[in-house]
Chain A
C-alpha cells in the first residue's frame, strides 16, 4: 500500500467517522476502567461526614477485623512518603487525605485497601471518625465577608504563568479578586438615561461523566506509572513528580480513552492518592469512584452575578458594572483562572466603552469547584443575556434589534482593551435570527398553553499562554504516527488531529495512527481543556507534520528524487537505507502570543489568541396550570472558524447544548448543612431522550480564524453559551415572568406566575 498517494480533496473539512469507531461499537475500546493488574489492591475511601471540622480521632480497629483487609491508610501514613502532600493547579491547598481538618462533606479521610473491592467497602463502613465540628460557610456572597474562614493558611502554587500573581487574602475566603476597569464607568452611569440592575444566580451542578473518576498506580520504588482517566497527563506528571520530589522522567502517566471528561478530569483528582497508596503498599492500587462519589469530587461553580447597565435613550449600552462571586468550594482547583479568564468577558459580546468588573474566587465548605464545559462562561452568559432581554423589554425594543445595536464587532475593543478579530458574534446572531424566522409572525399559543421564543449570544476567550508539543513519525513504509498528548474524551480529537497531519502530508486521515498520552512517549501538552486543543495542539501537530514533510523532501533530494515526483515514500527510505528501515521524525511546538492583563485594571493588548461565539434560539410552550415548559424548537449556532470535521463539530454543538439544557432545567446538587442529598442519578437528573427537544438544528457560520490551523478554532464549549438565558427569556416572552436562578423548574415557573397575578403560592 502506498501511504502517500494523493487523495482527492483536502483532509480538513472531511466528515470521516472517528478513528476509534470500531473499537467503541464492539465494546473493546480501552478505558482505565478496564485495567486489572496482577496483585492489585482496590481502594474504598472513608469520607468526611461534616462540612468543617477538626479530626479528633480515626478508629480503624473494627474495620481491620474484616477478613481480607490489606491496610487502612490515613494522612499519617501519607506524610511518611510525601512530606508536603498538598496539590492543586492554582493553590497547593488540597491534601491527599485530610490532615487534621476536613473542609467539606465527602472529603477523603482514610483509604481502605483490599484485593476484593467488596471487602474494602465493607471495612470502610466500619471506620469511625470523630470530629469537632466548626462553623461552616456555604454561600459565595456570604463567604466574601464571613468571619468563618475555610483555610487558615493560603498556599499559592505558582505553576502556571497566567496564575503567578495569585496570593489570596489571608484570614478571608478570597482566593482571587480579579478587577477590570475600562473607560470611565462612573461617568457613564452619572450621565445615563436609564440604569438597569439585576442579580442572577446559578447552582452547583457537576460533570458526571458516565465513566466515573478512576486511577491506577504501580511503582517499583524508583519509577511510578499512573494509568488515569485524566484530561491533563502532563500536569499529572509534573505534579506527582513535585509531590514525590522526583524528576519528571521517573513518573509515567498513561491515558487511554476517557468515558467523558467535560472538565472534571483535569489537574489532580485521584492520581496523588493512588501514587501515595502504591508507595505505601508497594502494590498496584486502583481507585475507581462510584457515581455517588463523583458528587464529592468536583462541581461546577455556583455563582452570583450582579450586573448593572447604563443605557442611553436610543438603546445604546454605555456603561456596565459586573460583580461576580464564584463559589469555589473547599479547594481552589482551577477556580482562580475561571474567575479571571471568564471574568473579563462578564460584560458580554457587546461594544461597551465603560466597564468595571469585580470577580471573586471564594472558598466555601462545599465540594471543590472547577472547570465544567464553558469554564465559567455559561454562568456569565446566563446573567448578561437575561439582563439584555430585560433591558430590551423595558425599553420596548426588539431583543434581536437591541443586540444588533450593541454587538461587539471586529475592530472594536473588548473590555480588556484587546481589539477583537474573527469574533463572529454578529454572524451568529444573524444566523440564529434567520433560523428562528425572527421576523415572521409568531404563534403565541392559546388556552392553558402559552408560547414564547428568544435568542441569546455568548462568547469566550481562549486560555493563554499555554504550550502544546507534537511529534509526527513517518515509518519506512510511509505510514504515519502522531504522538500527541491531547486526550480524546469523546470530543473526537484523535480524528481531528489525524486530519491535520493528513492534510499536510497529503494522505488519507484514516491511515494516520494516533498514539495516546503516555508521558514516556508523548510530548508535553498543557491539557485538554477550554476548547484549546484544536487551536493549540492543532498548530503543534501542523508544525510537526510540516517538519516531517520538509525532512521527507530533504530525503528525496538526498536520494536524487526530483521535487514534485510521485515516487512512493517507502522508495525514498529503501534508496537511502537499502531496505525498509529508518524513521522521519517531525516535531512541532506551539505557544501563542499573549499579554498578561494588568493587575488592577485588567487591560491587555492581546488577551487571547481567538474568541469563541455561540448563540442559541429557543421556542417553547408553557403550561400555565403547572409551569411545565416544553421546548418545541432549538437552534444552536457557533463560530468555530473552519470546521475540521463538520459532523463531529455538529455533534459537539448539539451535545454541549443538551448538557447545558440539563443545567438549565433539572440539574442541581441539593445540600443540607453541606451534605449533598441527591448524590445519584435517581435524584440528580441528567437529560435523557425524553428531555430532547423535538427538533434541534446545529450549525456553524461560515468563518475562518486567521491565525488558526487551517482556519480552525475551538468548538467543545460554544454550544453551551446561550442555552440558559434563551430558555429564561423565552419563558418571559411566553408568560411574562422572569426567573433569575437556575435551574428553572416547573414549580419555579408556576410560582412566579402566581406571584405575578398577586396570588403567591405559600412556601
Chain B
C-alpha cells in the first residue's frame, strides 16, 4: 500500500466535511475490510482516508422501538447485529444471514453502513434488507435524506450516495409477523461469495399471501426486487405451483451476469430453483419476523 493521509473526525457531520464530492481518492473508512482489499490490490490508492471510528458512539448502537422497528447506527459492526438479542427476536432472518456472511473476523470489523455503501452486489445483507423494506438515513455536510435500500443501490458497485455523503443509520420497519428467508447459493467452494442470493419476505399462509417481496442479488449487477415475481404471489392460493411460477417469473425478469460462478443460462436455472425453494421454506418452515 502507498502512504496516505488519515483523519479521524469526532463527529459524523465533521466527517462529511472532510470528504470531497469531486475527489474519488478521498474516502470514508468504517471497518475498512472492503477498502483494505482494494488498497492492498492497488486498485484504490487513496490520498486521504477519513476514519469514522471516533465519531459519536450513537452511530454504533442498535435500538429497537416499541413498534418493533429498528434504528441501527451505520458504524455498528456486523457482529453486533449477529449477537443482538433484539434482532434475534424481531428479525431472525438477519441473525441467520449473519451465519453465512463472510467470516467471524470480517463480521467483527465490518460495519453495516460500510456494507451498504460499498455497493457490492455479492453482499448477503442488502437483499435481506430490501425484502424487509429497510431504509437508510444519509447525511451530507449540510443535507440529510432517507432512501430505501432498494433505491440506494443503483448499479455494480454504485450507489446513490454523493462522495461526501455518509450513511448515518439503517431503519428497519416493523415486520408484523411476515416470514422471511435468505438463501445463499454458492457454485465454487461451499464457503464463498454467493453466485446467487435470494431473499423473500411474505405475509399470509398457504391460503394466500397478502404481501410478498422477492429480491435477487449477486447474479445481478445490484440487489433488486423482482416485481414480476412479487406481484404474482399476492392473492392466489400459495401452493407449490405458484412458487414454481414465481421462480419462472423471476428467472425471465432479471438481467443476469455470467462470470466464473456460472453462465447466464445456468444462473437463470438457479434463480428458478432458489426462488421456488426460498418461498417454500418461507411459507412452511420460514421464520416469523
Contacts and interface: CB of A to CB of B under 8 A. Distances in A.
A690 B260 contact: no
Given A690-B190, A691-B189, A691-B190, A761 B266 contact: yes
Interface in B174-219: 185, 187-193
A593 interface: no
Interface stretch (A240-248, A598-606, A678-686): A678-686
Interface in B240-289: 260, 262-263, 265-266, 269-270, 273
Nearest to B277: A625
Given A626-B270, A626-B273, A670-B260, A690 B191 contact: yes
A690 B189 contact: yes
Query: A121, A625, A678, A687 — which one has the most chain B CB atoms within 10 A of its CB?
Result: A625
A678 B263 contact: no
A678 B192 CA distance: 14
Contacts of A688: 189-191
Nearest to A686: B189
A443 interface: no
A680 B193 CA distance: 13
Contacts of A121: 1-2, 42
A747 B263 contact: yes
Contacts of B188: 666, 685, 745
Nearest to B187: A746
Nearest to A683: B260
B187 A745 contact: yes
Interface in B22-39: 37
A760 to B, nearest CB: 10
Contacts of B185: 626
Interface in B142-194: 185, 187-193
A751 B189 contact: no
A145 interface: no
A165 interface: no
Contacts of A750: 266, 269
Contact of B191 (A683, A691, A746, A751): A691
Contacts, number: 57
Nearest to A117: B1
Contacts of A751: 266
A152 interface: no
Given A670-B260, A683-B260, A689 B269 contact: no
Interface string B1-41: 11100000000000000000000000000000000010001
A122 B2 contact: yes
A762 interface: yes
Interface string A733-747: 000000000000111
Contacts of A691: 189-191
A752 to B, nearest CB: 12
A124 to B, nearest CB: 10
B3 A625 contact: no
A688 B103 CA distance: 12
A66 B37 CA distance: 23
Nearest to B262: A747
A9 B266 CA distance: 60
A670 B188 CA distance: 13
A105 B79 CA distance: 41
Nearest to B189: A685
Interface of B: prevailing SS: loop
Size bracket of the A interface: 20 to 34
A677 B260 CA distance: 10
B265 A761 contact: yes
B193 A682 contact: yes
A626 B277 CA distance: 12
A401 to B, nearest CB: 34
Interface string B40-70: 0110000000000000000000000000000
Contacts of B192: 685
A118 interface: yes
A125 interface: yes
A439 interface: no
B189 A747 contact: no
Contacts of A687: 189
A762 B191 CA distance: 28
A761 B190 contact: no
A184 B1 CA distance: 63
Contacts of A683: 260
A88 to B, nearest CB: 31
Query: A677, A678, A689, A762 — which one has the most chain B CB atoms within 10 A of its CB?
Result: A762
A763 interface: yes
Contact of A118 (B2, B193, B266, B273): B2
Contacts of A690: 189-191
Nearest to A116: B3
Given A118-B2, A747-B266, A763-B265, A625 B273 contact: yes
Contacts of B187: 628, 745-747
B191 A125 contact: no
A763 B263 contact: yes
Interface in A626-674: 626, 628, 666, 670
Nearest to B272: A625
Contacts of B42: 121, 125
Contacts of A670: 260
Query: A125, A670, A686, A761 — which one has the most chain B CB atoms within 10 A of its CB?
Result: A761
A678 B41 CA distance: 13
A680 B40 CA distance: 12
Nearest to A746: B187
Given A686-B189, A688-B190, A691-B189, A762 B2 contact: no
A4 B212 CA distance: 78
A262 B284 CA distance: 48
B218 to A, nearest CB: 14
Contact of A762 (B37, B190, B260, B265): B265
Interface string A77-88: 000000000000
Interface in A117-156: 118, 121-122, 125
Interface string B126-143: 000000000000000000
Interface string A86-130: 000000000000000000000000000000001001100100000
Nearest to B2: A122
Query: A121, A125, A626, A680 — which one has the most chain B CB atoms within 10 A of its CB?
Result: A626
B262 A666 contact: no
B191 A761 contact: no
A666 B266 contact: no
Contacts of A680: 41
B269 A625 contact: yes
Nearest to B274: A626
Report, nearest first, the 6 A-B pairs whose CB atoms are least far apart. A690-B190, A685-B189, A690-B191, A685-B188, A747-B266, A122-B2
Interface of A: 118, 121-122, 125, 292, 625-626, 628, 666, 670, 677-678, 680, 682-683, 685-691, 745-747, 750-751, 761-763
Interface of B: 1-3, 37, 41-42, 185, 187-193, 260, 262-263, 265-266, 269-270, 273
7 contacts: A125-B42, A666-B189, A685-B189, A685-B192, A688-B191, A751-B266, A761-B269
Given A625-B269, A628-B187, 19 more contacts: A118-B3, A121-B2, A121-B42, A122-B2, A685-B188, A685-B189, A686-B189, A687-B189, A688-B189, A688-B191, A690-B189, A745-B188, A747-B266, A750-B269, A751-B266, A761-B263, A761-B266, A762-B265, A763-B263
